[in-house]
Structure 1
Amino acid sequence: MSKPWIFISPSSRGIGHALTAHLLRTTSLPILATARSDPAGVKESLVSASANNRTSKDDGSRLHVTHLDVTDESSVEAAAAKAAELFPPSTHHLHLAFALPGILHPEKQPRRIDYDDALETLRVNTLGPLMLMKWFGDLLPRKGTDLSDVRGAEAAGFRVPAHATWLTNSARVGSTADNRLGGWYSYRASKAGVNSITKSFDLHLRMRGAGNAMAMAYHPGTVKTGFSQEFWGNVAEDKLFSPEFAVRKMLEVVASRTVQDGGRCWDWKGEEVPP
């Protein structure tokens, strides 16, 4: 039986931080999390956050935090090598992966587009997840990988899916069909790119994994983090989610998707976001 593990990048703040703490608390699986700086400090913060609502003591020995900057491919490669060292592919497989990098430079008009800002948006939001797929994708299960050890890895209501899942954070504004307002040119384009590479990656996993792994894109809604703080006043209170609520909804969707649902973008309600 192949032993499962979890990958979350990044985990230093926002949804990634809340998700890592939640999974540390609600599963028994080892976790590799990433941070651009101060991995030791991020680990201490995550262990503390997971302990706030934990019923059983855990010293954080299941949690590993390593340096990774998605705009620096060598750091992604090094982090993947660290993952293979911690979780040898001969005995382990990546079962849940959350690729969450994201930045936003909002442009309401074409004249407001700054070339360097737009390039940074594409490097982080689109090329970042693509580099994670490149270096961590081979750690997902292949055809013939025995996934039966996944049973018993869950607790506190989260049902770990039987198949491996790669989730990349997207956004509803990445939908071309659903674009009714315009604006946010570089951000929309970067998330449309996320949806495109997710489809291609899912097709790759179908060929190599034969139902053992899938890839999906995900729209979490507007979450009350520093990322969206500038826009909180424009969002109805019942549509502005806490990180903890956003994480619960994300995991509900992950638990309810099948391999046939791969290659598409799903929102926090479990509804498909059109391409």
Structure 2
Amino acid sequence: MDLLSSFAADPRIVVIGASGGIGTAFADLLRDRGEVIALSRADLDLTDPPSITAAAARIGGPIDLVIVATGLLHDAVGGPEKALRDLDTARLARSFAVNAIGPTLVAAAFLPLLRNDRKTAFAALSARVGSIADNRLGGWYGYRASKAALNQLLRTAAIEHARRAPLSVVAALHPGTVDTRLSAPFQRGVAPGKLFAPAFSARAMLDVLDRLTPADSGGLFAWDGAPIPF
């Protein structure tokens, strides 16, 4: 299948988080499909709102697709909290800043730049563990909660955006477990065949975006297109 066949020819695409494993894969796959504007943290910092609005102003419209390929599960401070006793205010705040607030501020800055006369899309990487309905294991407090917040924030943004651009799609995407730095410390228990290369996951999610319609806007979808309950 041609990439993004349901979008217009020569789309203008913004990939945020283009220095990460999945973001790099998105940008590499899409360069032959249209104009790709690849932004790394040097160009746009999710924890610095002025850098988000400045990047949107520099790029300007119209845009056909925005992909936010970012996420924080662990850093030098520590990994995901396994129990309540592990909770730390600063780490929780950082999880929400990077995983929920930042991508939503990107939506606020970039959704107005999307064309309103044809199919366009805004997509951000979420996670299956952000599904409240699907949570049967517990743990990973900050990551779960911040991704759940992202799902709800994008759902709300989708409702508002549809009033201006009824042909557009806003979606949260679960990439599966991908062989990147984010998942590296947690790959030991991944079932055979379920650890994806970044290029495989990125292409799969592009195929999902290609199939989504405005009726799907605001939803959370897995890499294989299956809807995930909030």
| 2:39 aligned residue (21, 29, 34) | 34
Contact 2:16–2:39 at 8 Å: present in 1 too?
Answer: yes
Cα distance in 2 for partners of 1:250, 1:205 equals 21
Residue in 2 aligned with 1:222?
A: 177
Deviation at 1:247, TM superposition (A): 1.1
Aligned structure 1 segments of 4 or more residues deviating by more than 6 angstroms: none
Cα distance in 2 for partners of 1:118, 1:201 equals 23
Residue in 2 aligned with 1:77?
A: 53
1:98 aligns with 2:67: yes
Residue in 1 aligned with 2:5?
A: none
Unaligned runs of 5+ in 2: 1-7, 74-78
1:179 aligns with 2:148: no
Counterpart amino acid of residue 128 in structure 1: G
Counterpart amino acid of residue 111 in structure 1: R
After superposition, what is the alpha-carbon deviation per residue over 1:63-112, rounded to whole angstroms, capped at 9, x for unaligned? Answer: xxxx110100111111011111xxxx4xxx21111012210131110111
Question: What's the Cα RMSD here?
Answer: 1.5
Cα distance in 2 for partners of 1:4, 1:229 equals 33
Cα distance in 1 for partners of 2:63, 2:121 equals 9
Which has the greater radius of gyration?
1
Residue in 2 aligned with 1:45?
A: none
1:207 aligns with 2:207: no
Deviation at 1:2, TM superposition (A): 11
- Aligned to 1:218, the other structure's residue is in SS state strand
Cα distance in 1 for partners of 2:11, 2:27 equals 16
Unaligned runs of 5+ in 1: 38-66, 148-162
| 1:125 aligned residue (96, 99, 111) | 99
Counterpart amino acid of residue 68 in structure 2: A
Residues 55-70 of structure 1 mapped to structure 2, 5 A cutoff: 67-70=43-46
| 2:30 aligned residue (12, 17, 23) | 23
1:107 aligns with 2:81: yes
- Aligned to 2:139, the other structure's residue is in SS state coil
Contact 1:164–1:213 at 8 Å: present in 2 too?
Answer: yes
Residue in 1 aligned with 2:14?
A: 7
TM-score (norm. length: structure 1): 0.76
Cα distance in 2 for partners of 1:8, 1:239 equals 25
Change (3 A) 1:141 1:190: same
Q: How many pairs does the alignment contain?
A: 218
Deviation at 1:32, TM superposition (A): 1.4
